[in-house]
Chain A
């Protein structure tokens, strides 16, 4: 229905010639932008409401009592509903370790929390469809659980920097929220996120529309053609420094898949963008020895690359 309205606006009201590359790019841009913003508002609002039921303190209490395996799965799931920003990575990490969560379980959380978030979810749903969004969540969870289990097996506890601080006295005012509080929180959170990402969304979709209209269809096929074994690792490595622009990156990736990039390669790229980030590593360096950071990045990066190959293989 939205598509029909936009078509009418572009071709009848504004009167751009039908079939011309420029008017198609405009049509594509308007349709995607409006659709994405509607989805963003609805989904972020719903996720924020769910979020009010899972405070990080509650998550810590749950994970502190869990052993490996079950703990890894729970940590990854809780990672989805806990908001994450790289500047909170250190206190979250220490908080979980302090509470007694195994290191591997803590890592599962650290991987899932930034990688599977509502913004990435909306962008994928809106631009790739529901199936790909589910695929992304599923494989993201798998990478988070597996990476945590692998790191847990490596017994790297001695690579966590020593900290001496008094045991936290946990008395954060656990105010009881009523329905109105939850709505207010969700409204504020949704606005916050939109304020932060709207410009990236518009630029991303704008560039995507341009690529859609003007870049020849087989432009990237040469580089990312099936069987080009280095496409997936390369996409993963390029994705690492691009953190925090997931909102802008996903529309670009969507346009690029039309031009010949395989879906597995695209998924690996997006997971690397969201799940592995340079600024987060710099901050985590304060609590982890460099060796542990390298292990963390290699295990997660390896998992992402395997996921990319897997989807390229089964979706061919």
Chain B
């Protein structure tokens, strides 16, 4: 699973990254968490409000700081 955090470096984006890493660790799944700051890629996904969370190329949320639990729920659902 590939989790991408889309954002240009504001406080919320950094927090979302931390939450995503925590969620992956707690779920115990194999996943790569990366931060994407390249505006071309962000806009390429059609994202207009950051931070956004993209999992395996699919935009899960935009403009929302998801908690580790919320991300965790999604990872587990997807893992099954």
Contacts and interface: CB of A to CB of B under 8 A. Distances in A.
Contacts of A164: 40
Highest count of chain B CB atoms <10 Å: which of A60, A85, A98: A85
| Interface size bracket, A side | 20 to 34
A180 interface: no
B1 interface: no
B42 interface: yes
Interface string A82-95: 01011110111011
A287 interface: yes
A87 B46 contact: no
Given A87-B8, A172-B62, A92 B40 contact: no
Interface in A151-205: 163-166, 168-173, 192
Contacts of B40: 163-165
Nearest to A96: B48
Given A90-B8, A171-B59, A173-B60, A95 B46 contact: yes
B8 to A, nearest CB: 6
A56 B48 contact: yes
A91 B12 contact: no
Contacts of B3: none
Nearest to A188: B64
B64 to A, nearest CB: 9
Given A83-B63, A95-B48, A168-B44, 6 more contacts: A56-B62, A85-B12, A90-B8, A91-B8, A95-B47, A168-B45
Interface of A: 56-57, 60, 83, 85-88, 90-92, 94-95, 98, 163-166, 168-173, 192, 283, 286-287
20 contacts: A56-B48, A56-B63, A57-B46, A57-B48, A85-B10, A86-B10, A87-B7, A87-B13, A91-B39, A91-B42, A94-B43, A95-B43, A95-B47, A95-B48, A165-B40, A168-B43, A169-B45, A170-B46, A171-B46, A171-B59
